[in-house]
Structures are given as C-alpha cells and as structure tokens.
Structure 1
Amino acid sequence: MSDQEVEVVVVGAGQAGVAMSEHLSDNGVPHLVLERDRIAERWRTMRWDSLVANGPAWHDRFPGMEFQDVDGDAFATKDQVATYFEAYAEKINAPIRTGVDVTSVTRNEGRPGFRVETSDGVIDARYVVAATGPFQRPVIPPIVPDGATVAQIHSSDYRNPDQLPDGAVLVVGAGSSGVQIADELRRSGREVFLSVGPHDRPPRSYRGRDFCWWLGVLNLWDLETPPAGAEHVTIAVSGARGGHTVDFRALEAIGIQLVGMTDTFADGVLRFREDLAENITRGDLNYLALLDAADAYVERNGLDLPEEPQARILGPDPQAAREPLLALDLAAAGVTSIVWATGFALDYGWLQVDAFDEAGRPQHRRGVSSEPGVYFLGLPWLSRRGSSFIWGVWHDAKHIAGHIATQRSYLTHGG
C-alpha cells in the first residue's frame, strides 16, 4: 500500500530536477521532486575546490533568473552555482523533498502508474522522470590494480593538491576536468604527467565573443546527433583564472609532461599509446574549424567584430608529440598518485522498467522513453548537443513537461 499518491515523481534535484519542476508547475501538473542529498549536491561535493563553470554566467543559467553575485562575463564558482539552483527552486516554489533516497521504481500491475519505493515510504506515481543526470557512477579503467603502491582517485573525489601524498602525479584524461586539475597541480609545484586522448579544443573566445556565443549563432548547440566517432569525445575548455583557451603547448611550457592515452600496466610500469601527436593535431583541426566558421559568419552577416589573426598561430608541435614518452616507471619517476579524469557511467539500477537496451542504455526519443510514463532528463545528446548543459536541460525539461501534459489531457478526456 502506498503512503502517498502524486501525478509525477521527479528523481533528482540538480539542474535537471529543478528545471523539470518549473515546467511541470507551468503546465499545472502536480508533482514531487525527490533528492537523496541536498539541492544541486553534485556541484557541492563532486567537484574540486577551485572549480568554476565552463561557461560564462550570462550563458550557463536558466532563462528565468540571472546570477545575482557574478558578472555576466565571469565564471561562477561551484558554490555559486549550487546557491543559484537553491535560490531558483525557492523562486519557483519547487516541491522538493531532500534526504529521500529512491530505492526502486516498478510498474504497477493491473493499474496505471508506478510504485516508487523510497527511504521515506512508498509513493504511487502516474509518471516518473529520471533527472539524475550523467554523473552517476565514476569510472576508473581497470588498468592499474588496487594493490599497486600508487594512490588512485577519480576526479570527482579530487579536491586540491594538498589532498594527495607528496610526489609527482599522473592525470589521465584531457577534457575540462583533466586539464584543469593538471594545471592546478603543476602550479602548486608538483611534477605532473598528463595523459591526452581524443578531444575537441574550442577557443575560449574569438573576435571578442565567448565560444558559447559562437556555438549558439552557428547552431552548433542544436546539433541533434554527434559526428560519427565523436559520441564520447571530451571538450577541453576552461573557465579557470578568468577563462582561457586550453593549449597543450602552453601546458608543456609550464612543465607538464604530456603522454598519449594510458594503455597498460605491468611490473610498476605504465605504457602509453603512440597517439599523442594525432590527438593534439585533431584537437587543433577542431579549433581551427571553429575559427573558420566564425570568420565566415562575420563576413556573411557584415558584423563589426575585430579580426584576431594571432589566434591562428599555433606554434610547433609539443616536444612530447615529436619524441613521445611511451613507458613510465612510476617509482623511478616519483609518481605517487594517479587522478583518473575518465568520466562517469550511468547507473539506473533503481529504475526497474522496460526502458533500456541490452547494454543498459536508456531507450528514448528526446527523453520520452520506450516505457510509457517514464522519462529521462539531463543526459548528453538527449535532444541536442547542449542537452547536458544548464540552459540545455531547461529546454529539454520544457519538452518533457509538455509531453506529460498532453498525456494527461488524453487520460482526462471524457472524465
């Protein structure tokens, strides 16, 4: 027997859950948002101390409210982002219940809806929105065994350089997290090795406009599917220290040793693929392609934006690309820590419905799952390139709320 009945249960009160609540309220749909921790908890406790948003405050926000304590062209800290979502939830009077863990969701037998079992009782819901986002289970590749003498942590557990034991550090992963952590560690005086895989490398800004603006006017945020082979390619961009373009040549210049993708480990020696030059070259091509598209847009629209020819000067390939380091004896190099900036896997073990393929991936179209009444929100490429970003999840939530409202209208037709 259920302790409570509600039309919609939204699981998760991060940016996706808060956005979902706003649009459900706008459609007059009764709902409840359940969060096992606090609002925007991952911004608080699954980020390093110095993290800032990767997009400027004018862009990385919901349309209904600006940041009150951050200049529009500045980059909000992780705590400012969490405070923003708390304030937004209060502004829209979101029905959020914190400290409640959803343990299972199953379809009711012989009647509509779902049984939602939680740490605070059972809820009967007509619809369920999984708004837990993409950062669910940290992934550390099984390369270096746990018994090795080197300390290993995932980037979601990294906080600051003082957290790690004395000695050199290997950072694995060349996306935003990996490059920013490696840069911070090097500036703290550590010797740092950075393992670089395939990546996109946009300019932080070009011709006086942030790359977020360029992706917007060029309709690149609205791409519905990723380019072939680039479904999981990371983006190397940074809002740290006021925002700057990630440049692996500059990272090498401050003393970071670049290596290719981390491949195997045996007898205390890590081996890397001979792909560093290729990965950096492809990142450069991605960077230059965006400059080309931006220049063409300026000319086509007759915009008065200052030319920036120096942005195309890349300089010689890093020394590490010309003379790659393919093996690293961790003890001999003094490496005492590995930080794995290797992303996350989805974990929907609690959602026990027919909404997944054989590999456990959600089956959906723009968040509307193959299981009627179940929805996904906050996932990368849910409907477009921008779906997992703050503003993108808001627009996806609007579509899902509209779908739920339409379904309710069918059910209520004729009483």
Structure 2
Amino acid sequence: MSTAETEVVVVGGGQAGIAISEHLGHNGISHLVLERDRIAERWRTSRWDSLVANGPAWHDRFPNLEFDCHPDAFPTKGEVADYLAEYAEKIDAPIRCGVQVTSVTKRDGWPGFRVETSQGPIDTRYVVAATGPFQKPVIPAVVPDEAGVRQLHSSTYYNPDQLPTGAVLVVGAGSSGVQIADELRQAGREVYLAVGPHDRPPRRYRGRDFVWWLGVLNKWEAATPPEGAEHVTIAVSGAQGGHTVDFRMLAASGINLLGRADRYKDGKILIRDDLKSNIDAGDANYISLLQEADTYVERNGLDLPEEPEAHHLTADPACMRSPLAELDLAEAGVSSIVWATGFTQDYGWLQVDAFDDEGRPNHQRGISSEPGIFFLGLPWQSRRGSSFLWGVWHDARFLTDHIMIQRSYRAYEPTSSAVGAVGQ
C-alpha cells in the first residue's frame, strides 16, 4: 500500500479538529483531518437525549458562524453537531471520516512522523492530537458487578426509560450529574445524588449570563485552576432555558442528597461525611461571584437591575443536617447507578515522547515536549475557556502560528556571504 503525504495530520473531527483546520487552511498549510466516526460524533451519540449546551448560543460558538437559533438560547446536542458539520463545510475542511488512527511514531532518520491508519499510512511533518478531553469514560471501581444493580456512565445514559424500574443513584454533581438527576426525578423516579466538590456560578445575575460575568471579570483568562481545585466540576445548567443550580432546591424537589460515594460493603455504599462542606464551598463560590459582579457594576456605573434576593440562601434541608452515612441499595430500592464521573484521556495510539511519568500530555499551551506534536482541546490548555467552543478556536490559532514559525526555521538557508563569518 502506497504512503500518502501531507504537512499536518489532525486526529479528531470534533470542535478542536475543525477549529485548527480553519486556521491551517487560511495559512495555506496542507493537512488532513482524520475522524474515526462522523463529524462531532460524540455530540450525536455520547450524550443524553435532552442535553443542551451549557453556554448560550451568542457566546459558545466559533467567531465566523452563528447558531441558527435565538442568541440567548442553549443549543440542543443535535444543533451543536449540525453546527460543527456546517462549519466544516463552510471552511471546506479536508476531513476524512471513518478513518481510525492506530499509531503515530517518529520516523527514524527523517523529519516528521508516520501515521498508521485503517486506510493506510501517512507521512507528515506535524501531528495535532485533537481528540479532546472526553475519550474514555471513568467508572470508579466502587460497586462490584455482583451487587445486582445496573451501572452505566453518563455518556451512555440517554433517557429515564432506558433504566430498569426502581430508584437511581447518580454519582457526580457537575453539569451532567445534576441535569440527569433532575430529569430522572421529574420522570417520577426516586433519586439519590452523590455531591462532591464543585463550583456553583449563577446562571444569570443582574440581567447577564454567567459567561458574560466571567468574561468582563477576566475569569475566562485564568491560566490554571486554583490549587486543590484541579478536578472540581462546575454545577451549571442550560436545561429548561437555563437556571442556577441550587442543591437545596433539588432537595426540596425530592432528590436525596448524599456526600461522596466512598466504598461498597455488604450491599451498602458507605458515604463520606462531606455533603455540607461540599455544598457550603459551592455556595461560597456562588456568593463570591455575585459580590465581584456587584463591585464591577458599581465601579463602572452600569445600569443593571439589582437582585438582592440572589444573595439569600434557603435553610439547609434535612439531608444536609442529618446526612446519610450509608446507602443500603436493596433497602432504598436502587436498581441502577449512573456514574457522572467524567473521563480520562487515551493516547495509546500516540507513541512518541510527549507525556509525563503519569501518562499525561507534557505540553505548554498545546506545544508538546516532542517537537512536531501538538495537543488541542484540553481543559485549561491555555486558559479556563480552552475546552469551550470559542476557547478551542483561539488555542487552534496559537498552535497554527507556532507551526508557521517552525516552517520559517525549516525554510531558512544561510547566505553564502554569512558562512564562516563568525569569529573572523
């Protein structure tokens, strides 16, 4: 089989791959985007049916195309997938779908890399790993299979009818866990929600969405998460037109709040005594943002409506005052567990020196320790907004600029008059 050649191979045809394809194409850099499924496949098949984007359409988009919906609406998962496919067509991205990348290795004695694929090898100068952060679902080894309950990850949950009758335990209090728990409760299920550490921004405050507040307060530009908060999730929802997540209100709706699920023993899940501290910390994050917003309004003389009621929290529900120390699955009637516990990365195909001792990408703003290898779409790649649609577009431009600089070094040839001039 003959070997194809191109200057850049981009692995992944989601938002990251499409974003960098636009910048590479704009600069006349030959490239191929390889996608093992369809464009934006994870948006189509690895999300639950009722999922909507967590940011409004006016904000969470690429700069050169608007969503075909109201700017303040939260696009459905289908609308996001269609948007990305439309954008790929708009920029004429050279995407090859149905192509699986099996390995990337450094070419011995030659510049660049050999990319082995299901449709043959490709030689290239640069490789961009644009597979994003949602590669391999994480289900903690807490509840054994013999416990007799159905266990699934949030990426394979679609709707309440998919689950067997009975109560449901949802583990994880980020956007996915909260929305799934709320949907299950509205469907008439008994729901238990294990709540870990989280940030809890207001969905809207003083007439502005929280994404606007993060923008004007420069919080999107934070380069690293606060110390100790590297794995803290954000509890915010675009569901039902968008609303502030309030765990006290979730408890009032009938959801049973628990601390973090610790371990399993004799048919019971032992629960950490951290429910109140986790919710209190999320409340502190919420109140802090309101206060910063109020200060910003006052200092800049903005005419935005006051919302003093937003600062008032309701009383702690009974589940916070007297939290469960254990959950007997059979006694509670729990027949299924939804693990909204995030993802890990899987770069087994990328067989180069671009990772640290723990297998994590070793990079600076996506430029890896292996010259010619780049990462795109990682959380906190360059800033807080890096894994969002608009953020990945700007990171893609940065990487493309770096590739252009590297091309200039490759093209450099010293003039004959300069040879041997040093030291004369």
Range into which the TM-score falls when normalised by the shorter chain: over 0.9
Mapping for residues 148-167 of structure 1, pairs under 5 Å: 148-167=147-166
**Offset, 1:247:** 0.4
- Would the aligned equivalents of 1:56 and 1:74 in 2 still touch at CA under 8 Å? yes
Alignment deviations for residues 339-365 of structure 1 (CA, whole Å, 9 cap, x no partner): 000000010000000000010000000
Equivalent residue number for residue 237 of structure 1: 236
What secondary structure, in the 3-state scheme, does the structure 2 residue paired with 1:388 have?
coil
Code of the aligned partner of 1:329: D
Distance in 2 between residues matched to 1:396 and 1:113, nearest whole Å: 22
Q: Deviations over 1:257-312 (max 9, x none)?
A: 00000001011111100000000000000000000110011011110001000101
Residue in 2 aligned with 1:292? 291
Q: Secondary structure at the match of 2:386?
A: helix
Q: Report the Cα distance in structure 1 between the residues aligned to 2:357 and 2:195, rounded to whole angstroms.
A: 31
Q: Give the match for residue 60 of structure 2.
A: 60
- Aligned equivalent of 2:397: 398
Q: Superposed, which structure 2 residues align to 1:22-101 within 5 Å? A: 22-68=22-68, 70-101=69-100
1:177-188 alignment runs, 5 A limit = 177-188=176-187
Find the counterpart in structure 2 of residue 3 from structure 1.
3
Provide the residue aligned with 1:134 in structure 2. Answer: 133
How high is the TM-score relative to the length of structure 1? 0.99
Query: After the TM superposition, which residues 78-227 of structure 1 pair with which residues of structure 2 at under 5 Å, given as runs?
Result: 78-227=77-226
- 1:389 is aligned with what amino acid? F
Match of 2:421 in 1: none
1:263 aligned partner:
262
Higher mean alpha-carbon deviation, 28-37 vs 318-327, is at 318-327
Unaligned runs of 5+ in 2: 415-424
What is the CA–CA distance in structure 2 between the aligned matches of 1:268 and 1:146, rounded to whole Å? 11
Question: Which residue identity is paired with 1:296?
Answer: T
- Take 2:372 and 2:204, find their aligned partners in 1: how far apart are those partners? 42
> Counterparts of 2:277 and 2:2 in 1: how far apart (Å)?
57
1:216-244 Cα deviation digits (max 9, x unpaired): 00000010011000111000000000000
Distance 2:371 2:259 in 1: 45
Q: Distance in 2 between matches of 1:240 and 1:142?
A: 30
Letter in 2 for 1:284: D
1:354-382: per-residue Cα shift (whole Å, max 9, x none)?
A: 00001000000000000000000000000
Q: Which amino acid aligns with 1:76?
A: P
After TM superposition, the runs of 4+ consecutive aligned structure 1 residues lying more than 3 A away are none
Q: How many angstroms does 1:147 deviate by?
A: 2.2
- Describe the SS at the equivalent of 2:34: strand
Please give the residue correspondences for 1:370-409 in structure 2 after superposition, counting only pairs within 5 Å: 370-409=369-408
Say what the alpha-carbon RMSD is for the aligned residues. 0.8
Give yes or no for contact 1:27–1:402 (8 Å, CA) kept in 2: no
Report which of the two structures shows the higher radius of gyration computed on alpha carbons: 2
Distance 2:42 2:106 in 1: 29
Alignment check: 8 A CA contact 1:143 1:263 kept: yes
State the SS of the aligned residue for 2:338: strand
Gaps of 5+ in 1: none
Distance 2:159 2:13 in 1: 26
Q: Which residue of 2 aligns with 1:253?
A: 252
Q: 1:319 Cα deviation (Å)?
A: 1.5
Amino acid of the residue matched to residue 407 of structure 1?
Answer: Q
State the aligned residue count.
414
Find the aligned partners of 2:335 and 2:261 in 1 and give their Cα distance.
16
How far the C-alpha of 1:2 sits from its partner, in A, is: 5.1
Match of 2:417 in 1: none
Counterpart CA distance in 2 for 1:52 and 1:2 is 44
Q: TM-score, normalised by structure 2?
A: 0.97
Give the distance between the partners of 1:120 and 1:232, measured in 2 at CA: 38
Q: How many percent identity over aligned positions? A: 72
- Give the secondary structure class of the aligned counterpart of 2:315: coil
Equivalent residue number for residue 412 of structure 1:
411
> Once the 2 structures are TM-superposed, how far is the Cα of residue 318 of structure 1 from its aligned partner?
2.2
Given residue 48 of structure 2, which amino acid in structure 1 is its aligned partner? W
Q: SS of the residue aligned with 1:166?
A: coil
